[in-house]
């Protein structure tokens, strides 16, 4: 072999490819080709429904291995045990809503679902279905359950679907699936030794015992950052306002409600941290007085709320930092770069992630985001619309390179 030609990292890796009954099953053929071309040895396992879309023969010829479709036939060779035992990774692509439900609750009524219960290797799942099914709360619950167990669930892509609908539901592109395989088999551990303190979600500021002021932040970006930092080897503390999200495993989670509680929690872990990322949407104002009883409407004038400003957590941390890298977010509705630049300087940050929350498909509540990262040294990294998980990894890559980009001249800016 030519000394300069490196073998593909997947060379010799054993992949179990599960195919379920979606119209996107035909794309699994091309995925199988790409995996074998990269040098992987692929055993294909098909559900009964998937054989209605593509024949097992197609996969047999292209993988050079017999294809497993039947639990009882497979049972004779114990394939439900031997395939996962030998696999370095299992990929299920496409994964139907039915498959996600079975995997989430642990049903084992065919070879593929039985295999999942016997396997101990990483699992990557690439769903494909109609847009309304993907966004259905039951499906989303199953996705959350699987993710909380460490399953790599790739968000489907937006585009025209078999139903004619244009929505999120298309099988993730082949390159994204291959990237997930590499990320899973060869995790990047460039945050090893780093202690990352992240804030996420909104804060709630009480008006009375039953009412509060808050904002539309879902916490998804902060949680994605926490998960990505942990997967890259960091120790992570996540200070989170109230969200509907399941905290990722392997992370210290500090739940808070108000801006004041968030400030206290961030201050408590600040000295411990080497990197601080304020992804939370902290309330800037809170009611000056909190009514001790529920405000009643009957017979009284409409109450007027007097507000006072909360303290700026980032500016407070910035004033007492030693060597931490400080990263802020700027959620803007206009003059994105100018406002972000002002915040970067005023809060004494190293980096700021500026996002236009009015952009369609991005920002609050969405699974995707688009942003520009600005550094105090004048650099800019535009990040076009992508999943929040991908965005999290891209932000971390900029952070980890930041001290290097300063060429060892990293002197913290302290503001008073």
Instruction: Give whichever of 333 and 379 is closer to ligand CTP, judged by the CB atom.
Output: 333
Angle of helix 111-118 versus helix 79-86 axis, rounded to 10: 50
369 is catalytic: no
Instruction: Give whichever of 329 and 402 is closer to ligand CTP, judged by the CB atom.
Output: 329
Please give the sequence-ordered ranges of beta strands (E in DSSP) within 174-217, or none if there are none: 195-200, 205-208, 211-213
Please give the Cα distance from 159 to 40 (Å, whole number). 30
Q: Got the DSSP string for 283-318?
A: -SEEESS--SSPPP-TTSPPP---EEEPP-HHHHHH
Instruction: Give whichever of 15 and 279 is closer to ligand CTP, judged by the CB atom.
Output: 279
Of 98, 215, 355, 369, the catalytic one is 215
Q: Is 144 exposed, middle or buried (0-12, 13-18, 19+ CB in 10 A)?
A: middle
Instruction: Give whichever of 95 and 330 is closer to ligand CTP, judged by the CB atom.
Output: 330
**Min separation Cβ 227 and ligand CTP, Å:** 19
Instruction: Give whichever of 9 and 255 is closer to ligand CTP, judged by the CB atom.
Output: 255
**Min separation Cβ 284 and ligand CTP, Å:** 5
**Min separation Cβ 193 and ligand CTP, Å:** 24
The token pair at 353 is 């992630």
**Min separation Cβ 231 and ligand CTP, Å:** 22
Instruction: Give whichever of 291 and 316 is closer to ligand CTP, judged by the CB atom.
Output: 316
Instruction: Give whichever of 133 and 276 is closer to ligand CTP, judged by the CB atom.
Output: 276
Residues 6+ apart with CB under 8 A from 15: 35, 40, 41, 42, 43, 87, 88, 89, 90, 91, 181
**Min separation Cβ 297 and ligand CTP, Å:** 30
Alpha-carbon Rg for the chain in angstroms? 24
Please give the Cα distance from 90 to 87 (Å, whole number). 7
**Helix H or strand E encompassing 403:** helix 388-405
**Min separation Cβ 245 and ligand CTP, Å:** 17
Backbone phi, psi, residue 174, to 5°: -55, -40
> Are 217 and 279 in contact, with CB atoms under 8 Å apart?
no
**Min separation Cβ 343 and ligand CTP, Å:** 5
- Cβ–Cβ contacts within 10 Å for residue 24, how many? 26
Backbone phi, psi, residue 158, to 5°: -85, 145
**Min separation Cβ 222 and ligand CTP, Å:** 9
Binding site for ligand CTP (CB under 6 A): 259, 278, 280, 282, 284, 310, 312-314, 328-331, 343
- Cβ–Cβ contacts within 10 Å for residue 33, how many? 14
Establish whether the linkage from the previous residue to 94 is cis, with ω within 30° of 0: yes
Q: Got the DSSP string for 22-71?
A: STTHHHHHHHHHHHHHTT-EEEEEE-TGGGGTS-HHHHHHHHTSPPB--H
Instruction: Give whichever of 146 and 313 is closer to ligand CTP, judged by the CB atom.
Output: 313
Please give the Cα distance from 352 to 57 (Å, whole number). 53
Residues marked active site are found at 215
């Amino acid at each position: 072999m030519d000394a300069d030609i490196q073998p593909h990292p997947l060379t010799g890796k054993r992949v179990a490819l599960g195919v379920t009954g979606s119209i996107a099953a035909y794309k699994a053929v091309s995925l199988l080709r790409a995996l074998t071309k990269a040098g992987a040895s692929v055993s294909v396992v098909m559900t009964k429904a998937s054989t209605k879309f593509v024949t097992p023969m197609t996969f047999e010829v292209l993988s050079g291995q017999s294809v497993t479709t039947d639990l009882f036939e497979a049972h004779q060779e114990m394939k439900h045990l031997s395939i996962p035992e030998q696999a370095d990774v299992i990929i299920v692509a496409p994964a139907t809503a039915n498959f996600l439900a079975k995997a989430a609750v642990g049903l084992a009524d065919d070879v593929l679902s039985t295999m999942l219960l016997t396997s101990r290797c990483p699992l990557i799942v690439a769903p494909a279905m109609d847009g309304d099914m993907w966004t259905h709360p039951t499906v989303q619950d199953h996705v959350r359950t699987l993710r909380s167990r460490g399953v790599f669930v790739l968000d489907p892509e937006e585009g025209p679907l078999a139903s004619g609908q244009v929505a999120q539901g298309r099988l993730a592109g082949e390159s994204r699936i291959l990237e997930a395989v590499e990320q899973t088999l060869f995790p990047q551990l460039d945050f090893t030794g780093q202690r990352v303190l992240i804030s996420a979600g909104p804060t709630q500021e009480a008006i009375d015992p039953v009412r509060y002021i808050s904002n539309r932040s879902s916490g998804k970006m902060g949680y994605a950052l926490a998960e990505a930092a942990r997967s890259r080897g960091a120790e992570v503390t996540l200070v989170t306002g109230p969200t509907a999200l399941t905290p990722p495993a392997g992370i210290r989670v500090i739940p808070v409600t108000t801006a004041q509680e968030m400030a206290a929690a961030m201050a408590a872990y600040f000295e411990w941290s080497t990197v601080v990322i304020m992804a939370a949407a902290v309330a800037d104002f809170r009611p000056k007085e909190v009514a001790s009883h529920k405000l009643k409407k009957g017979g009284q004038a409409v109450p007027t709320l007097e507000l006072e400003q909360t303290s700026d957590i980032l500016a407070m941390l910035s004033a007492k930092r030693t060597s931490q890298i400080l990263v802020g977010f700027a959620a803007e509705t206009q003059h994105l770069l100018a406002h972000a630049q002002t915040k970067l300087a005023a809060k004494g940050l190293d980096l700021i992630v500026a996002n236009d929350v009015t952009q369609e498909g991005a920002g609050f509540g969405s699974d995707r985001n688009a942003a520009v990262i600005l550094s105090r040294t004048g650099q800019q990294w535009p990040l076009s619309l992508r999943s929040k998980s991908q965005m999290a990894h891209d932000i971390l890559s900029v952070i980890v390179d930041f001290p290097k980009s300063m060429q060892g001249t990293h002197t913290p800016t302290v503001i008073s």
